[in-house]
Amino acid sequence: MKRVWMAVFLMAAAGASGAAKREADLVIYMSAPAEDPAMVGLAEGEARKILAGVGITVDWRMGKPDYEGPAKVILVVVRGSDDPNFKPGALAFTTVGTGAGALIQVFGGRIHCGMARAQEPPILAHVLVHEITHILEGVDRHSAHGIMKAHWNVEDFRRMAYSYLDFAPEDLRMIHTWTERHRATLVAAAR
């Protein structure tokens, strides 16, 4: 219910301002050649809703990054096969380079392993939001609970099937700090 009111508030605030549609905060390019496009599309939609709940707008695109604009650009690559000895237990990892931008690599095989097909989109959505949050926060840290928890347990995965994991207060503070800084840069650049 809290998410619904937040979405209504954000839509009302956008409508009340009379402002033109603003640029997305993030442009995310998805490369998932071995994945079912419908599953990836569902995951992107769920990730968009989770991020919108904390005020972040996303423009999802396919292919290689070719965007030049004010939004933060992220490339997501879903790897089909994985070396089980490389980052064991991880569902994804993020690297942030100064010249190359941000790269999220998802271990697709680990998401599929042992999961019912209907569980895959919400799990992928949570994995994407978790890694995107690492990029926004600018640090490799985890919270004691919620979406930024280091390792999700069975109960977390069960909740993902019907709801979204929440953000810890410290994660919300860091996301809002990024948002304020990002939007202030946009305003300054527009002058």
pLDDT of residue 131: 95
Query: In whole angstroms, what is the distance from residue 59 CA to residue 72 CA?
Result: 10
DSSP for 117-134 reads GGGHHHHHHHHHHHHHHH
Query: In whole angstroms, what is the distance from residue 19 CA to residue 119 CA?
Result: 38
Where do the domains of the chain lie, and which CATH numbers do they carry?
21-190 (3.40.390.10)
- Model confidence band, residue 107 (pLDDT cutoffs 50, 70, 90): confident
pLDDT of residue 98: 53
Average pLDDT over residues 19-23: 62
Q: What order do you get walking across the sheet with 26-31 strand by strand?
A: 58-62, 26-31, 72-79, 101-107, 92-97
pLDDT of residue 172: 95
Q: What is the pLDDT of residues 70-102, one digit of tens each?
A: 788 888 988 876 777 788 888 899 987 655 568
Supply 28's token pair: 């995310």
Query: In whole angstroms, what is the distance from residue 129 CA to residue 51 CA?
Result: 7
Query: In whole angstroms, what is the distance from residue 33 CA to residue 81 CA?
Result: 12
Q: What is the pLDDT of residues 116-166, one digit of tens each?
A: 666 889 999 999 999 999 999 988 899 999 999 999 999 999 999 899 999
Mean pLDDT for the chain overall: 82
Cβ atoms of 172 and 50 within 8 Å: the answer is no
Predicted structure pTM score: 0.83
- Model confidence band, residue 65 (pLDDT cutoffs 50, 70, 90): confident
